[in-house]
Structure 1
Amino acid sequence: MTRPPEYSVLDLAPIREGDTPADALRNSLDLARQAERWGYKRFWLAEHHNIPGIASAATAVVIGHVAGGTSRIRVGAGGVMLPNHAPLVIAEQFGTLASLYPGRIDLGLGRAPGGDRQTTYALRRSLESTEGDFPRDVAELRSYFRPAAPGQAVRAIPGEGLDVPIWILGSSDFGARLAAELGLPFAFASHFAPDYLLQALSLYRDNFRPSESLAEPRVMIGVNAFAAETDAEGARLFTSLQQAFVGLVRGRRGLLQPPVESMDGLWTPAERMQVERMTRISVVGSPDSIRRSLGVIVEATKADELMLTGQIFDHAARLRSFEIVARVCAELADGQMGRGTSAADVHAAGAAASPAPR
């Protein structure tokens, strides 16, 4: 049987229809405090810009807010979009966080812009980039966390000599290859871009080079989780995410919408197909359904850690969903994981776990 994975939370600090960013940030801290109590290992926040429904644009600031309001859970970025920033700035920010909250800060790095082209230009003042920029920026950033060399002209203070674990994030073979080459842990964004999940994990594991940071490959996968007392209620909660993805497909991003009884009339057949493809690594429904679906996904991917995310409109329902999932993950750790699945089953698991609303 596959070793049971650890389980963590990815929060986008969703701004609901009728709420403000301040409301979203208060809800994120409340979720983090409960996640700590329920045994989640990490609480990560993601960098997105110019998106009305996400309040975590200033990611390092929100990480400090959450870390300061909790006591044990690891808090980090899932991730910082490194091309938007000078590596020295990120080293200083996360060096400061690690100094304030020692042993609790993670730094996940991605190379996507986290917004549209106009937003990217506003952040970077340039749209020019090459495939080699990101690996060079990662190398520079890592150098600032090492003890300073004699005569080193530029130093990260705070930052140098601190242990800030770095993860490479990705949704393709690029991130998988880089993480393997550098001997770093790899987190795959299967909660919204699952197409190359199994290929990327295989590539990463096959090409992994042990490093001073990591002796063996370590894989984290993103999973959408919408748990409730019944399958029908889980599917209803899931419609908030489905509406968000319809907006993404149409290029119209907005605030998180309340759930609906049916998506009929809210998407076209082509949009439905695209949304279901993008969200197929999702577990939706009652505790029994969540248990079965997670078991299949874990057996198929052999993931070391699940990064669970759930953009649920009602905050109380979101808390209840993460509580149910934590209990299910604990049961899997006790040896109740499913057996006999194959890698080919991961697609079927996602399809079965993400029922279309009635």
Structure 2
Amino acid sequence: MPVPLSVLDLSPVPAGSTVTDALRDTLDLARSAERAGYARFWLAEHHLNPGVAGASPAVLMGAVAAATATIRVGSGAVQTGYRTPLSVVEDFGTLDGLHPGRIDLGLGRSGGSRLPSREPDGRGDRVVDGVLIPAPVSLAAIASSPRFRAQAAALRQPGAQVPPYEEFLDAVDGLITGTWTPGGVEVRAVPGEGAALQTWVLGSSGGESAVLAGRRGLPFAANYHVSPATVLDAVAAYREAFRPSDRLGRPHVMVSADVVVGTDDAHAARIAEGFGPWVHSIRTGAGAIPYPRPEDADALPADPALVTDRVATRFVGGPATVADGLDRLRAVTGADELLLTTITHRHADRVASQELLADEWARRG
């Protein structure tokens, strides 16, 4: 039986379009995902990117949840370095109060003063049971970019200190359960305490996020689409650290992937054009450009050293081709769920892509 499919949306802004168009497209994509039978619809958090409108997951989640009826709605992920535990719990407690039992709280150890740390480690490309695990790519350009530093300055109060991630998770959990007493003082989150939130930890490597998710018995989302080089490390570290909790008796992993599904392989390849230049804009530290038109892609920069790992690990093709690739990814990672993100210039192609895949996935079930 195929594992459940879910959607991660960045609210991409296509070239020639507007932020308003992008946000409305997200609502339309969510309604389509619900009709097609996807399990979850998650919203990403990105800042200072001209080509991405998804900057405030909690606000957009409220609109998505109101525009749908049954699909779970979540964050993928809240950047904890720019927030306090109380503000997160109050925001998501409000969402749960309005849409009980449908809200996922996805947390990411990102933002704040922490710079991207993924660097080449000497490992080359390898193929594991048909799944490409590429060599790591340096993120030095992002870490040294003025935009990255400006983002940190714009999103943090002057002099604010980012707490250790484990302390942040402790506070979030304690506020939801009503057991957080900093300095011996009882602190009550209203709304938030007692909320029926499903808390997830997201991670890109075998580092702290994966280990803490395992130790705390939380479900874990591993990023194949952002960091395909380290997805197996992340999953292995999570499973090794896992301890059963009152929420989970066994490890539960969701793995993300970039996909574009067309009517056939050739059609998918055409509508998928533009991804390389878009990734290039992010990894040079300039910020995501508006997603290019397919006919403009060849004229835009796309340094292979910066983009090949992402382009080569994107699942592009007709429904059967992409479903076969995702099934291999599921088998190699042992994923219990798959989280899919699709970016094309035309919104109609994104909607059709997720509907074609859902039909093929259901047929196999």
Q: TM-score range by the shorter chain?
A: 0.7 to 0.9
SS where residue 52 of structure 1 aligns? coil
Q: 2:198 aligns with which of 165, 170, 173?
A: 165
Q: Return closer, same or farther for 1:147/1:112 CA change in 2, 3 Å cut-off.
A: closer
1:239 is the counterpart of 2:270: no
| Structure 1 residue 262: Cα displacement | 6.5
In 1, the alpha carbon distance for the partners of 2:14 and 2:55 equals 16
| Structure 1 residue 178: Cα displacement | 1.0
Counterpart residue number, 1:314: 346
In 1, the alpha carbon distance for the partners of 2:106 and 2:213 equals 11
Q: 1:181 aligns with which of 215, 223, 226?
A: 215
In 2, the alpha carbon distance for the partners of 1:321 and 1:102 equals 30
Percent of aligned pairs with the same amino acid:
40
Counterpart residue number, 2:62: 64
SS where residue 77 of structure 2 aligns? strand
Tell me if structure 2 keeps the 8 A contact 1:148–1:160: no
In 2, the alpha carbon distance for the partners of 1:129 and 1:123 equals 12
Residue identity opposite 1:319 in structure 2? V
Residue identity opposite 1:257 in structure 2? P
Tell me if structure 2 keeps the 8 A contact 1:225–1:325: no
**TM-score where L is the length of structure 2:** 0.84
In 2, the alpha carbon distance for the partners of 1:299 and 1:328 equals 18
Counterpart residue number, 1:256: 291
Residue identity opposite 2:197 in structure 1? V
Residue-by-residue CA offset, 1:101-158 (whole Å, 9 max, x unaligned): 001000100011297121112111358767x611111110111101358995321101
Residue identity opposite 2:106 in structure 1? G
Residue identity opposite 1:10 in structure 2? L
Tell me if structure 1 keeps the 8 A contact 2:277–2:297: no
SS where residue 197 of structure 2 aligns? coil
Counterpart residue number, 1:221: 255
Alignment of 1:143-162 (within 5 A): 143-147=174-178, 153-162=186-195
Q: 2:101 aligns with which of 100, 103, 125?
A: 103
Counterpart residue number, 1:203: 237
Residue identity opposite 1:283 in structure 2? F
Q: Return closer, same or farther for 1:117/1:128 CA change in 2, 3 Å cut-off.
A: farther
In 2, the alpha carbon distance for the partners of 1:4 and 1:210 equals 25
Tell me if structure 1 keeps the 8 A contact 2:180–2:187: no
Alignment of 1:64-143 (within 5 A): 64-113=62-111, 116-125=148-157, 133-143=164-174
Counterpart residue number, 1:49: 47
User: How many residue pairs were aligned?
Assistant: 327
Q: Return closer, same or farther for 1:280/1:187 CA change in 2, 3 Å cut-off.
A: farther
Q: Return closer, same or farther for 1:30/1:183 CA change in 2, 3 Å cut-off.
A: same
| Structure 1 residue 298: Cα displacement | 1.3
| Structure 1 residue 205: Cα displacement | 1.2
Counterpart residue number, 1:16: 14
Residue identity opposite 1:299 in structure 2? A
SS where residue 196 of structure 2 aligns? coil
SS where residue 17 of structure 2 aligns? coil
In 2, the alpha carbon distance for the partners of 1:68 and 1:95 equals 15
**TM-score where L is the length of structure 1:** 0.86
Tell me if structure 1 keeps the 8 A contact 2:178–2:188: no
SS where residue 31 of structure 2 aligns? helix
In 2, the alpha carbon distance for the partners of 1:128 and 1:66 equals 32
Tell me if structure 2 keeps the 8 A contact 1:44–1:76: yes
In 2, the alpha carbon distance for the partners of 1:59 and 1:144 equals 20
Tell me if structure 1 keeps the 8 A contact 2:76–2:107: yes
| Structure 1 residue 289: Cα displacement | 1.2
In 1, the alpha carbon distance for the partners of 2:39 and 2:224 equals 19
Unaligned 5+ segments in structure 1 are 335-358
Residue-by-residue CA offset, 1:296-328 (whole Å, 9 max, x unaligned): 111111111110001111011111001111122
Q: Return closer, same or farther for 1:149/1:275 CA change in 2, 3 Å cut-off.
A: closer
Residue identity opposite 2:86 in structure 1? L
In 1, the alpha carbon distance for the partners of 2:279 and 2:270 equals 15
Residue-by-residue CA offset, 1:71-107 (whole Å, 9 max, x unaligned): 0000010010011001100100000000100010001
